[in-house]
Amino acid sequence: MQKKNIILLSIFFAAILFRFTGVASRPIWYDEAFSILTSEKGPAAIMAGTLAIDSNSSAAEEHPPVYYLLLWGWINIFGKSIISVRGFSILINLISLIVVYKIAEHLFNQKTALLAAGLFCALPFQIHFAQEIRMYALLSLWLLLATFSFLKAKTENWTWWILFSLSSALAQYTHNLAAIYLIPLALTPILQKDWKTLRALIFAGLAALALYMPWLIHLPAQFAKVNSQYWVEKPGVEKIFTLILFYLPHLPLSNLMLIFGLLFAVLVITLAVFQTYLARKNNIPNTNHGLWLAYLSFAPPLLLWVISQFVPIYIERALLASHAIFCVWLAWSLTETNPPKIIRSFAMTMIIACAMMGFYQHLTYKGFPYGQFNEINKSIQSQIKTGDVIIHSSKLSYLPAFYFDSSLPQGFIIDPPNSNVDTLAPATRELLNLTEYENIEQATKNYIRVWLVIYQNSIEEFAAKGNSTHPHLEYLEAHFTLEAVEQWNDIKVFIYSKNRP
């Protein structure tokens, strides 16, 4: 076996190890529970829940159905345990690793390709979303396949344009933000004044659009959902720094790690930019490829930021494909631009330090929005009595708890209708067969004892606004007697008994 194959195989197995480390013990959160509960309902329910229209003419679910449909097939084969469903995302991400290697090898050589694969293997941004039970790893794979197909189609036969069209359409069927990456990719021939490729790309793009056409009629309702009921806030210039942090050490980080992580990340990216400048200045071969990679690394985040000034949709996890290209650009800047050995060693040391910090935080962080929902359920199950009810202050804790044990008498208080946090549509709640309450009064009126499950940060948010406590707690304190409080990392469980007249 050739040395390069041994190295590539070692990187692949290291990637498997990183991605399966903590896969069972790491808590799940609301979005992941939503993915499982939706997917297990089957294709008919998935399509019905996705296409349903709310009273305000917005879609019940803002994401297209391909990921949920594929996850349904996976669940039917391998089950819906945490390890199983996370294994689906891990498999997808491992395929992406191979595509990243092939992109770098096509543009440069095996040395750069191996380093690009190594960076993709070790950087926490990829590891985190390789484990997450959401559509972002799948979105990234389609976009990377579209990128590789685009590169191959420029020099080889037309069959690569077919793969480009299919990958682009599937990316859009996976997440509407696929366009944020596809638009800069499609602009490449114009920026490079490659008119022959542009003509072919136009036809391939029209083919992708034709494949996506059946879904286009649903986009207005989905955009209405995002525009009226989406939790994302308008981004500011601080996103420059958070992007750098996501790309290298990842977030969240503790205070001290945050300082060093930002410092190391800024140093690494500054060195990569400087080496790119020197490569252009000194006319180093393949510099245009390096510039193109830098463009695809940062143009999609910029486009997403600009659009978000009008319709806030800026979420870093939609930039997973750009981060994969960033790995290739970073590898090129350290191998092909002739940096001094000390500079290369310094940059690699900073990258490794970032990876270690981010990976450690990824494995150990258990704060909001995560929680020990299975353990909380078991604890309540061992103590619950007749006449008790479990109330979740919000859907964020209810859905993961419901996933682990749907038999417990638990429900949640719905978000204020038409608010920017009212993202769980009535049609979806009905599809998932959830127990819901309009307010805390309705939730508790027929019960002797109440278990209130609430995130600590929810209490702190109300306190920061000048309130004495959270309104749910305020009501319970006025009408019930507090028996006990249990702390589960960032989640509190309050146990109240009804006051006797």
Q: Give 42-82 pLDDT, tens digit per residue.
A: 999 888 877 766 555 444 567 889 999 999 999 999 999 99
350 and 383 housed in the same domain: no
Domains: count for the chain: 2
Per-residue pLDDT tens over the stretch 279-295: 999 999 999 999 999 99
119 and 18 housed in the same domain: yes
127 and 202 housed in the same domain: yes
The pair of three-digit structure tokens given for residue 437, joined into one six-digit string? 């309450």
Q: Which of 489, 273, 241, 259 is nearest to 357 (CA)?
A: 259
Rounded to 5, what percent of the chain is helix, strand, coil? 65, 5, 25
DSSP code per residue over 389-432: EEEESSHHHHHHHHHH-TTSSEEEEPPPTTSTT--S-HHHHHHH
- List, in order, residues 6 or more apart from 374 with CB less than 8 Å away: 404, 405
Distance CA 277, CA 274 (A): 5
pLDDT, position 299: 98
* Other residues' Cβ atoms within 10 Å of the Cβ of residue 462: 16
pLDDT, position 57: 45
Q: Which of 364, 399, 424 is the last residue of a domain?
A: 364
Distance CA 429, CA 423 (A): 11
Tracing tokens 């998932």 back to the chain, one arrives at: 432
Distance CA 161, CA 152 (A): 9
383 and 311 housed in the same domain: no
161 and 254 housed in the same domain: yes
Yes or no: say if 83 and 128 are a contact pair by the CB < 8 Å rule.
Answer: no
Distance CA 283, CA 285 (A): 6
352 and 485 housed in the same domain: no
167 and 29 housed in the same domain: yes
260 and 287 housed in the same domain: yes
Which structural domain, as residue segments, surrounds residue 181? 3-364
Q: Which of 364, 396, 421 is the last residue of a domain?
A: 364
308 and 403 housed in the same domain: no
Q: How high is the mean pLDDT in each 10-residue block of the chain (501 residues)?
A: 86 97 91 94 86 56 88 96 96 98 97 97 98 97 98 89 97 95 96 92 94 77 57 87 96 92 97 96 95 98 95 93 98 96 96 97 91 94 92 94 92 81 78 90 91 93 85 92 93 88 57
Q: Which of 307, 333, 364 is the last residue of a domain?
A: 364
pLDDT, position 262: 96
Determine what percent of the chain is predicted with pLDDT higher than 90: 77
391 and 321 housed in the same domain: no
| CATH number of 445's domain | 3.40.50
Beta bridge partners of 480: 498
pLDDT, position 60: 54
**283's torsion region: left (phi>0), alpha (psi -120 to 50) or beta?**
left
Which amino acid, 50? Answer: T
**250's torsion region: left (phi>0), alpha (psi -120 to 50) or beta?**
left
Q: What is the DSSP letter of 253?
A: -
The bridge status of strand 436-437 relative to strand 410-413 is: parallel
The pair of three-digit structure tokens given for residue 3, joined into one six-digit string? 């040395």
pLDDT, position 58: 47
487 three-class SS: strand
456 and 326 housed in the same domain: no
* Element spanning 454, H or E: strand 449-455
Q: Listing from the earlier edge strand, what are the strands of the sheet with 410-413?
A: 436-437, 410-413, 388-392, 449-455, 491-498, 480-488
Residue 476's Cβ-side half-sphere holds a number of Cα atoms within 13 Å equal to: 28
Yes or no: say if 377 and 360 are a contact pair by the CB < 8 Å rule.
Answer: no
Distance CA 224, CA 219 (A): 8
pLDDT, position 423: 75
388 and 296 housed in the same domain: no
CA distances, 216 to each of 60, 177, 222, 358 (Å): 16, 14, 10, 38
Which amino acid, 147? Answer: T
Alpha helices in 25-175 (DSSP H): 30-39, 43-51, 66-78, 82-107, 110-122, 124-131, 136-153, 159-174
pLDDT, position 265: 97
133 three-class SS: coil
Residue 42's Cβ-side half-sphere holds a number of Cα atoms within 13 Å equal to: 1
pLDDT, position 222: 58
